[in-house]
A = this chain, B = another copy of it.
Amino acid sequence: IENRDRKTLRDLCQDLHNADLADLIEQLDQERRTQLIQLLGRDFDFAVLTEVDDTVREQILEALPVAAVAAGLRDLDSDDAVYILEDLADQEQEEILARIPEFVRVRLRRSLDYPEETAGRRMQSDVIAVPPFWDVGRTIDYMRESDDLPDEFYELIVVDPSFRPVGTVPLNRLLRTKRPVRIDEIMDTPIRTIRGDLDQEEAARIFERYNLVSAAIVDDSNRLVGVIHHDDIIDVIEEEAEEDIRGLVGLGDEEISDNFLYTARSRFPWLFINLWTAMLAASVIGLFDESLEKMVALAVLMPIVASMGGNAGTQTMTVTVRALATRELGGFNKRRIFWRELLVALLNGVTLAILIGIIAALWFSNAELGGVIGAALVFNLLVAGSAGFVVPVLLDRFGADPAVASSVFLTTVTDVVGFFAFLGLATLLLL
């Protein structure tokens, strides 16, 4: 298809939804991607680029001439344009912005001035705002006459003379109200505005909590600067959940389309840190080399204690990390949850200890060995339960992201304590 047959290509792509065209582009090789976009020319909707993954997008933008990118971005909704621009280097951003008409440029810059991952970055700057004293008829006439309205909106934002939002009117209510009724009689108050510099994750929590379809974004002095829609929020929620999952196992921001060199490099730091923590655990074992020489059963059993501690601790840690992320864990229930986790650890620890104690005693025909491994297991599970709770809570308090750093700390603790408790107890009691 790709052999310069513009017309057929255009017809084919016209029928595709952006998301489907994006999939198609991802599956082409790099050269073909640029060819396709250039062949489509003005018929290529740059909104498609918001649907391909980051790595592919960067490649495409680098390959296209600056003028083509600028022309493509000019017609986009401002949130899509910002989404595409934000990953570019500063210099390229400037070159592209320079070729965009001034009134669009000003808006894009205002979004780009907000830090990454804030609500301001995700907002759309074309907003429909009406004063409270208009009536329904005038509002509808205004909407019919103006040409530059955004494609999608679900609510009107009502603003006072200094452009501060005072309420919202869902479109369906506007439709169902008679023309002479004043806007301020049908608007919903109080309005839930979101500050542009609010973290996008916090903004998502507000949407979720109040089931919003869109929300007004305001600046420091509470003036309306944009609006953020449900579909952007869905993307944010997906991204943030993804980040939590990745953080737990030390993955960076890799994408499925990255090559192996990039992937290997992004995963290495985590493995490197884990190498040292594993070494630390090994050196704890090294302290007991004489005991191990005397009783090789200890070497056989010791990984069980460490690994059970790791598993139980990870369960507690995961619950805690997610509860912190979704703001379910606050000052008022911290103490209760901590005690619950200790009780859970004790209960499961004792049950599993009895089980493993019996098995170990039978396996090595040594009842005392069974007692020792049982005791070590209970102890390690208690430590794992506390650490699984305390580590993320402390990291959160000191401003670190608990999802990323918790599990290194945690497995170090459970390994070191597991080996030390089991080998130490055995040395004291059995040898």
Binding site of A, secondary structure by majority: helix, strand, loop or mixed?
helix
Q: Chain B CB within 10 Å — which of A17, A268, A311, A419 has the most?
A: A311
Stretch from A86-94, A166-174, A220-228 forming part of the interface with B: A166-174
* In the complex, A154 has a CB within 8 A of chain B: yes
* In the complex, A260 has a CB within 8 A of chain B: yes
* In the complex, A127 has a CB within 8 A of chain B: no
Instruction: Tell me whether B267 and A348 are in contact (CB under 8 A).
Output: yes
From the candidates B144, B251, B300, B314, name the one contacting A175 in the complex (CB within 8 A).
B144
**1/0 per position for A129-173, CB-CB distance to B under 8 A?**
000000000001001100001001110000000000000001110
Instruction: Tell me whether B348 and A271 are in contact (CB under 8 A).
Output: yes
* In the complex, A263 has a CB within 8 A of chain B: yes
From the candidates B234, B251, B292, name the one contacting A207 in the complex (CB within 8 A).
B234
* In the complex, A398 has a CB within 8 A of chain B: no
Instruction: Tell me whether A359 and B307 are in contact (CB under 8 A).
Output: no
The closest CB in chain B to the CB of A305 belongs to: B278
Residues of B within 8 A of A102 (CB): none
The verdict on A176 contacting B152 (CB below 8 Å), with A27-B332, A263-B344, A275-B308 known, is no
Instruction: Tell me whether B311 and A270 are in contact (CB under 8 A).
Output: yes
The closest CB in chain B to the CB of A260 belongs to: B343
Residues of B within 8 A of A319 (CB): 251, 254, 256
The verdict on A289 contacting B300 (CB below 8 Å), with A170-B152, A249-B315, A308-B275 known, is yes
From the candidates B17, B271, B348, name the one contacting A312 in the complex (CB within 8 A).
B271
State the Cβ distance, A100 to closest chain B Cβ, in Å.
Answer: 24
Q: Chain B CB within 10 Å — which of A152, A245, A289, A318 has the most?
A: A245
A208-257 at interface with B (beta carbon < 8 Å): 208-213, 230-231, 233-235, 237-238, 241-242, 244-246, 248-251, 254, 256
Residues of B within 8 A of A274 (CB): 307-308, 311
From the candidates B231, B299, B306, name the one contacting A292 in the complex (CB within 8 A).
B299
State the Cβ distance, A275 to closest chain B Cβ, in Å.
Answer: 6
Instruction: Tell me whether A315 and B234 are in contact (CB under 8 A).
Output: no
Residues of B within 8 A of A19 (CB): 209-210
* Additional 5 contacts, C-beta under 8 A, given A154-B172, A283-B300: A212-B231, A256-B337, A274-B308, A275-B352, A303-B419
A residues apposed to B, CB below 8 Å: 17, 19, 27, 51, 140, 143-144, 149, 152-154, 170-172, 174-178, 207-213, 230-231, 233-235, 237-238, 241-242, 244-246, 248-251, 254, 256, 259-261, 263-264, 267-268, 270-272, 274-275, 278-279, 281-283, 285-286, 289, 292-293, 296-297, 299-304, 306-308, 311-312, 314-315, 318-319, 322-323, 326, 328-329, 332-333, 337, 339-340, 343-344, 347-348, 351-352, 355-356, 359, 411, 415, 419
The 8 closest A-B pairs by CB, nearest first: A241-B241, A299-B299, A260-B343, A211-B231, A171-B171, A264-B347, A278-B304, A264-B344
